[in-house]
Amino acid sequence: MDADEKFMRRALVLAEEAMGLTFPNPMVGAVVVADGRIVGEGYHGGPGRPHAEIEAMRMAGERAKGAELYLNIEPCCHYGRTPPCTDQILGAGISRVVFSIFDPDERVRGCGAAALKAAGVDVKGGVCAAEALELNLPYVHHRLTGRPFVAIKLASTLDGRLTWRHERNLSGMKEQRYGHRLRAWTEAIAIGIGTLEKDHPKLDRRYFREDVAPPVRMVFDSTLRFPEDYPWLARGERVIVYCLTEADPIRRRRLETAGAEVVPLPRGLHGIDLRFWLEDVSAKGITSVLVEGGGEVATSILNERLFERFVLCYAPLVSGMTGVSWFQDGAGPLWLAKGELNLRHCEPLDDDLLAVFDYRKIGEYLSIVTEEERIVHGAH
């Protein structure tokens, strides 16, 4: 491992400290290196808070002059809630900037790197790019496409069932921790009303970090069976209930009075038309959603190709015909051709087996965010 990779990996570790805190911004970590030693480090703590490189340079103080700056995404060069980081990098006297991926935000897209290079700073991109892309994949997807990143996560028996006898939870603790990390990686979580009625889930991130706020909860509930006294509403947490346009207006008003956002949507072939759901998610500015069930919801999203990532966690169990299948025949014929799903990752989690698949277009993102000519030619 060379020095650039060593220091970038530290920046990535710092960036992950902010998982679940930065939406709609990316997770960014930064280190300042002088004479081969880290003299400053930091990460972006959320919207309106100082960016990672600013925190790192503040810690470094005068030692930042002539030093190297490492961060996992290109520095910004525009005014938002905070001033341009490129101006402050130049003001601190940083001599070299190393980053992983270009920022796909249309206000940056190479302009940050180009501005530094034009001012005489030695600029290098592409270090640990694959790892940096994976960390901020929902953000990159949202900025490149304008659409929310949708991940489906299911826990299944080996024969593709969501239930096994009377067990509420198929997953072991290691797999549950992985699932809660996914919840922190994405801004919102969605389930069907049947899953809520059966499991009474918390849908929080407690196995990842207890101090991270819960995700935005979304419930697909065609006829508005969602309880008005559900704990999420009592605590004032954000809940969005998606129903059909013909749902009872009195029930809708009661739920809204209790604190829920109720969104009526048109009917599709099998319940709510999920294409309109995704349009509403986008209109609300929500950047990413983790769909955790149930089977009919998952099958519909797969059928409509409304997802970017598909995560299956297999428990070492065989349920047989008594189990509920994650593929619901009533939701229409599911088919995904060879090449539509690409295996991203596979690993054991204690006795469980994790398999992660990406929809085919995701594979193109790495080349987009590491295009070296952007440094020379600037934006767009």
369 part of a folded domain: no
Q: Mean of the pLDDT values across residues 113-131?
A: 94
pLDDT beyond 50 at 379 = no
- Distance of alpha carbon 353 from alpha carbon 158, whole angstroms: 9
Instruction: Give, in degrees to the nearest 5, the angle at Cα 117 between 115 and 120.
Output: 115
In degrees rounded to 5, what are phi and psi of residue 9? -65, -35
pLDDT tens, position by position, 246-273: 999 999 999 999 999 999 999 986 678 9
Q: Are 112 and 217 part of one and the same domain?
A: no
The Cα-based distances of 53 to 10, 82, 86, 121, 248 in angstroms read 13, 12, 10, 15, 52
* pLDDT, tens digit, 9 for 90 and up, residues 82-103: 678 889 999 999 999 999 999 9
Q: Residue 169: pLDDT above 80?
A: no
In a domain, residue 142? The reply is no
**And the tokens for 140?**
């990159």
pTM of the prediction? 0.92
pLDDT at 56: 97
Expressed as residue numbers, the domain containing 121 is 3-135
- Whether 95 maps to a domain, the answer reads yes
Which of the four pLDDT bands, split at 50, 70 and 90, describes residue 79? Answer: low
Q: ∠ CA(17), CA(176), CA(344), 5° rounding?
A: 75
Considering 99-113, 293-307, 342-356, the range whose residues carry the highest mean pLDDT is: 342-356
For the CA atoms of 35, 37, 39, 42, the dihedral, rounded to the nearest 10 degrees, stands at 130
Catalytic residue among 5, 16, 41, 53: 53
* Residue 141 belongs to a domain: no
Q: What is the pLDDT of residue 380?
A: 41
From residue 118, how far is each of 121, 169, 377 by CA, in Å?
A: 7, 56, 10
pLDDT range class, residue 329, cuts 50, 70, 90: low
Tell whether 155 is covered by a domain: yes
pLDDT digits (tens, 9 = 90+) for 15-46: 999 999 999 999 999 999 999 999 999 999 98
Angle of helix 111-118 versus helix 85-92 axis, rounded to 10: 30
Q: For residues 165 and 110, state if they share a domain.
A: no
Which residue from 140, 146, 141, 129 is spatially nearest to 372, judged by alpha carbons? 129
State the pLDDT at residue 80.
63
pLDDT, tens digit, 9 for 90 and up, residues 218-245: 999 999 999 999 999 999 999 999 999 9
Is position 345 within any domain? yes
Are 14 and 129 in the same domain? yes
For the chain, the average pLDDT equals 90
pLDDT of residue 371: 79
pLDDT at 373: 53
Active site annotation includes 347 = no
Q: How many separate domains does the chain show? A: 2
